[in-house]
Amino acid sequence: MRENLLLTIIVMTGVFMAILDTTIVDIVVPRMMAPLSTDLYGVQWVVTSYMTAAATGIMLVEWLESYLGLKKVFLLGLVLFTSSSAYAGNSGSLAEMILARILQGFGEALIVVSAEAMLFTSYPPEKRGLAMGIYGLGVSFAPALGPTLGGWITEHLSWRWVFYINVPIGILNTFMATFFLREFPKTRHTRMNWFSFLFLSMGTVNLLVVLSKGQQMGWFSSDTIGYLTLLSILGFLLFLLWEIISHHKLVDPALFKIKEFLVSLLVYFLLLGFSMYQVFYILPLYFENLKGISTFHTGLHILPLALSIGISSPIAGAISDRKSDRLPLYVAVSLYLFSSFFLLPQLDLFTPTWKASLYLILLGIGMGFFFAPVTNLALKKLGDKVTVGVSLMHYVRFVGGSFGTAIATNDLQRFMWENFQRTTEIQNHQLVGHFLEELSGYFWLPQEKAQAFLYQVQSLYSYSDAFKETFLMAGVWGLLGSLPILYLLLDHIFTKVRLYRGRVPPAD
């Protein structure tokens, strides 16, 4: 018990540090433009490079584990992440920053997969729900805390401290892991299918670049986006073809025959990636861009979400151990869908910020109840394939999250312009002209400035309504992602009915 407690503290420190970096950096990206001598489009590669490196690096972890063991993979990830954080903080050009972020992303991939595999295999089966609840605390609490900590660092220190803060924590974590983590037995040597890995990387990297740059380049009106999309499709098709004809597969197809794992993978991809990641992305924009509060205060208003996730995640894990994996999962889906359809779509320009923060508590409880049961459900039947199972779940998390972020960005812009155009179409131009004349006369404004003022007001109202519609669409994706869980529920009910009918003798 004491050994597991120490292991949990060590690995969760690394996981928390690595995953926190995914959202804390988003806050400071605009401040990097001048020091790195680039523009807004160029600096976005700071996020894109990290994301693509992490997504592709994840699929190498099983192979590395078979040669090094989980402890050494975790240590390698810590050393890479910590040293590249120091390099990123000291970067003087965009090229240096992108290189540092690629190394950081690869380090994160090694940390999160090896940490989850170590936690899951170290705890006995009756305690694995709690272990995954603690892990879920890091996976979900860290991104929600990112805006708060990033806002504080932005206002009181230099943006470079977003990276420098990782260095002392990473060094201490590496020291603790080296001397206090036990060795984990290596799995049998895995023969790496490099062609499958290269084809999968080709498809993944191009897909993630398309998703992150599509809005900026005008999606398929851009030749570059079209070519990258074709390369992505080609990469995935070659990956599938090579996996079919290869004797040593990168991904064991037997995993997808396990019902619980397949359901959990779909839930991770759709519910977490396409829906929850949209909410994580939109909330800071709502508070900062629409409500007009500072970055730090935005973080403070999102803090109730982070705290409710952090508190409820271990509770869900404990319930998962004592009762069933499915019970907290049903609670999670119910609370999340209720919040997505009935609470978040109420958030607009006129919603008091305290009320918006209050709504996030119920949302956070739903999110917190999600991670432990779905992860435990996915991994409990995998046996010695836990590492590859964890790798696949994190891979679909990255890809699904990239889809979610791209969809949210596109929906927010699309709804705003549709609302603006609709407002313009239904206006009585005679009344508008009369209003502008009165506005010009009352405030001694030129006609052009009065028109500009009206344009800004219309844009603001359109933006406000766009947030409500985008939150609602995130809920629709959440409903789609909940269908595999509904399948589990119906399957459970029908199984009980069949058992009941088998026990009760037929009536005369």
What is the mean predicted confidence (pLDDT) over 208-232? Answer: 82
Q: How far apart are CA 151 and CA 172, in angstroms?
A: 25
Under 8 Å CB-to-CB from 378, ≥6 apart: which residues? Answer: 260, 261, 264, 265, 268, 389, 393
**At residue 140, does pLDDT exceed 80?**
no
Cα–Cα distance, 374 to 333 (Å, whole number): 11
Average confidence (pLDDT) over 62-73: 84
Which amino acid is present at 260?
E
pLDDT for 136 = 76
DSSP state of 127: G
Contact criterion met (CB below 8 Å) for 470 and 407? no
- Give the pLDDT of residue 367: 87
The DSSP code sequence of 309-321 is: HHHHHHHHHHHHH
- Looking at per-residue pLDDT, the higher value among 56 and 139 belongs to 56
> What does the pLDDT read at residue 458?
77
Q: How far apart are CA 136 and CA 260, in angstroms?
A: 18
Lowest mean pLDDT of 64-78, 105-119, 450-464, 486-500, name the range. 450-464
Give per-residue pLDDT as tens, 297-306: 887 888 888 8
Between residues 217 and 165, which one has the greater pLDDT? 165
Query: pLDDT tens across 147-187, in order?
Result: 777 777 777 777 788 888 889 989 999 998 888 888 777 66
CA nearest 152: which of 294, 293, 266, 288?
294
162, two tokens: 């977003």
3-class state of residue 148 by DSSP: helix
pLDDT digits (tens, 9 = 90+) for 176-186: 888 888 877 76
Higher pLDDT, 371 or 231: 231
Q: Which of 13-17, 153-157, 281-285, 431-435 has the lowest mean pLDDT?
A: 431-435
Q: Is the pLDDT of residue 278 over 90?
A: no
Asked whether the beta carbons of 100 and 81 are under 8 A apart, the reply is no
Q: Which bin fits 219, alpha (ψ -120 to 50), beta or left (φ > 0)?
A: left
The whole-number pLDDT of residue 1 equals 61
| pLDDT for the residue 472 | 93
For residues 243-268, average pLDDT? 85
Q: Which comes out higher in pLDDT, residue 432 or 271? A: 271
pLDDT score of 433: 62
Residue 498 has pLDDT above 70, yes or no: yes
Per residue in 391-420, pLDDT (tens digit) is 888 888 888 888 888 888 888 888 888 887
In tens, the pLDDT along 87-105 reads 888 888 888 888 888 899 8
- Asked whether 212 and 44 are in contact (CB, 8 A), the reply is yes
- The predicted model gives 469-491 an average pLDDT of 89
Higher pLDDT, 85 or 122: 85
Contact predicate 325/129, CB 8 Å:
yes
Extract the tokens encoding 171.
């060094």
pLDDT given at position 479 = 92
C-alpha dist (Å) from residue 106 to 17, 35, 74, 254, 439: 14, 25, 12, 27, 57
Question: How many C-beta neighbours within 10 Å does residue 127 have?
Answer: 15
CA distance 483 to 37: 47
pLDDT at 341 over 90: yes
What are the structural domains, with CATH classification, of the chain? 1-192 (1.20.1250.20), 257-508 (1.20.1250.20)
Better pLDDT: 285 or 34: 285
The percentage of residues in the chain with a pLDDT greater than 70, rounded to a whole number, is 89
Is residue 508 very low, low, confident or very high in pLDDT (cuts 50, 70, 90)? Answer: very low
Backbone torsion region of residue 184, taken as left when φ is above 0, otherwise alpha when ψ lies between -120 and 50, otherwise beta: beta
Read off the pLDDT of each residue in 84-88 and give the average, rounded to a whole number: 90
From CA 1, how far away is CA 404, in angstroms rounded?
A: 39
Q: Under the phi-then-psi rule, with left for phi > 0, alpha for psi from -120 to 50, and beta for the rest, what region is 292?
A: left
Query: Residue length, the chain?
Result: 508
**3 state SS of 219:** helix
The confidence band for 9, taking pLDDT boundaries of 50, 70 and 90, is confident
Per DSSP, the residues of 238-292 read HHHHHHHH-SS-SS-GGGGGSHHHHHHHHHIIIIIIIIIHHHHHHHHHIIIIIS-
Q: Estimate the crossing angle of helix 447-503 against helix 326-338, to 10 degrees.
A: 150
Amino acid at position 247, single letter: H
HSE, side-chain direction, 13 A CA sphere, residue 432: 15
Q: How confident is the model at residue 507 (pLDDT cuts 50, 70, 90)?
A: very low
Comparing 124-133, 260-269, 436-445, which segment has the lowest mean pLDDT? 436-445
pLDDT over 60 (residue 211):
yes
Residue whose token pair is 């990473």: 170
Sorting pLDDT into bands at 50, 70 and 90, what band is 281? confident
Average of per-residue pLDDT across 245-258: 83
CA 473 vs CA 163, 248, 470, 478: distances in Å:
34, 41, 5, 9
Of residues 202 and 405, more confidence is placed in 202
332 vs 23, more confident: 332
